[in-house]
Amino acid sequence: MIRPALRCDVPPALRRLAALAPLDAAAVAALQAALGRAITIRAHREIHSEGGAMPGPQLIVSGWAARVRILPDGRRQLISFLLPGDLVGQCGQPEPLSLSALTAMTDVSICSVPSTADAPPLASAYAHSVALEQAYLLEQITRLGRMNAQERIASLLLELHERLRLNGMADATGFDIPLTQEHIADALGLTSVHVNRTLQAMRRSDDLRWQGGRVTLTNPAALAHWLGRQPARVSGSAMRGA
Amino acid sequence: MIRPALRCDVPPALRRLAALAPLDAAAVAALQAALGRAITIRAHREIHSEGGAMPGPQLIVSGWAARVRILPDGRRQLISFLLPGDLVGQCGQPEPLSLSALTAMTDVSICSVPSTADAPPLASAYAHSVALEQAYLLEQITRLGRMNAQERIASLLLELHERLRLNGMADATGFDIPLTQEHIADALGLTSVHVNRTLQAMRRSDDLRWQGGRVTLTNPAALAHWLGRQPARVSGSAMRGA
DNA sequence: CGGAAATTTGAGACGAATCAATAGCTGTGG
DNA sequence: CCACAGCTATTGATTCGTCTCAAATTTCCG
């Protein structure tokens, strides 16, 4: 199926950071220069390994990645997904270690983040991004701790939708998703069989469609209301754009 | 039962931060001054509410607190526990909002953290502390996503033991715990009934004792090995003390 | 077209939830 | 010093959500 191209071709990573904080021309230029220096990691490859040294803060330019923990007996937990515009390894530590593996779910291109010294407004965008990452970790904990399969799936898809809206990769009704049902299962503490059955039930009750790598939410607002879910808010000052 | 007093009476909060990074005399003095300005919150009271503005970074001086999320229908999830020496609201944002409620599990005393401007070595301790907090959130996610009841309980108790060792509130074999089985259930995504039955099984297999508000781990190292659990490591440079 | 990956279906088992009741503990006041 | 209230812990019986295992079937992609 052919879909209309996005209105303009601002790279998603740039679009997200610009939405998190007002950026001046120097900041945008620094980001665009950094994007040009991105390297590509093939799907299924590990970008960082758990316990390894972090090279320094980086930015997802394109593709989807996931933070992954593997238990000794092979059980796999996807901690969180990283989308274009998300930061990796942004922390105040001198010699940080990676707290989890980072795996490319699709081909991923990634670059070092421009220094805030070159463009001070970036500091604010980075701080906002780190806070959002925290917020999504807390969401993930409540999903896993207190929600059933249907709620977990709805909550995760709403979160992905919200985040992809921010970087321009989703429209009002849905988004392209490069994940398998097994990935969803590994993120939500379920089995792929149960994810499959739960998705079927949600399709039957017309909550969503998922075909050909695209998720369509019939009524995102209604779904969010049913869950009692609200968009992540991490700062007193209003967030621009979306 | 009477237990011998700790070797010296360094406050746990100070002990933890000193273990996270080398502190000079000025830093210690600044911390001690701050501890003196602590205020007390009664057990069961909310310290911060979800979505409320954060006053600025704070430090738990004594008592246990927990970050809490409540779903619209009343389901409760304890995101994490905060122990003496833990930081709250340490983030780079200008007008941060609280991402979860913070509730006092016991009487809690809490103070503002000294500025790093007054004592630069504190910045390193704070950064280290923030990184550890992240590490424990990831642990919590894998617990909830991929572990069964017995593993969740063992993992949480080992984490608490590790953290209480760092601030001097635990000895090699166990620690005082001011939590009920229902608190454990709310943290681990279980019911208190099931926590009770699981604890009984663990007592029967001589993994632990839990009586009179004190947890004794029969063999912490063996339990950790069984889980494949390793102490949190967040920095390339070695951590002092413990 | 062929082979691997992903999705779908079915039957049965199991871990944890639920509901309901009892027993133990702690502090409080008469 | 005992009686009582209100938590907390414990026990039992049953139900339910999700897992497990195994086998199609469909989709994707070279």
Q: How does DSSP assign B54-114, residue by residue?
A: P-S-EEEEES-EEEEEE-TTS-EEEEEEE-TT-EES--S-SSBB-SSEEEESS-EEEEEPP
For residue B75, the chain A residues in CB contact (below 8 A) are: 146
Summarize pLDDT for B1-10 with one digit per residue, the tens: 444 454 568 9
Distance A214 CA to D1 C1' (A): 74
Query: What does the DSSP 8-state code read for residue B28?
Result: H
CA A232 to chain centre: 13
DSSP structure string for A179-203? --HHHHHHHHTS-HHHHHHHHHHHH
pTM confidence score: 0.94
Least trusted range by pLDDT, from A88-92, A167-171, B122-126: A88-92
**Helix or strand run (H / E) with residue A67:** strand A65-70
Summarize pLDDT for B97-108 with one digit per residue, the tens: 999 999 999 999
Distance B48 CA to C12 C1' (A): 48
**Helix or strand run (H / E) with residue B217:** strand B214-217
- Asked if the Cβ–Cβ distance from A76 to B146 is below 8 Å, we say yes
Summarize pLDDT for A14-40 with one digit per residue, the tens: 999 999 999 999 999 999 999 999 999
* pLDDT given for residue B238 in this prediction: 55
**Distance between CA atoms of residues A217 and B208, nearest Å:** 48
Partner A, chain B 13-42, Cβ-Cβ below 8 Å: none
For residue B236, the chain A residues in CB contact (below 8 A) are: 53, 94-97
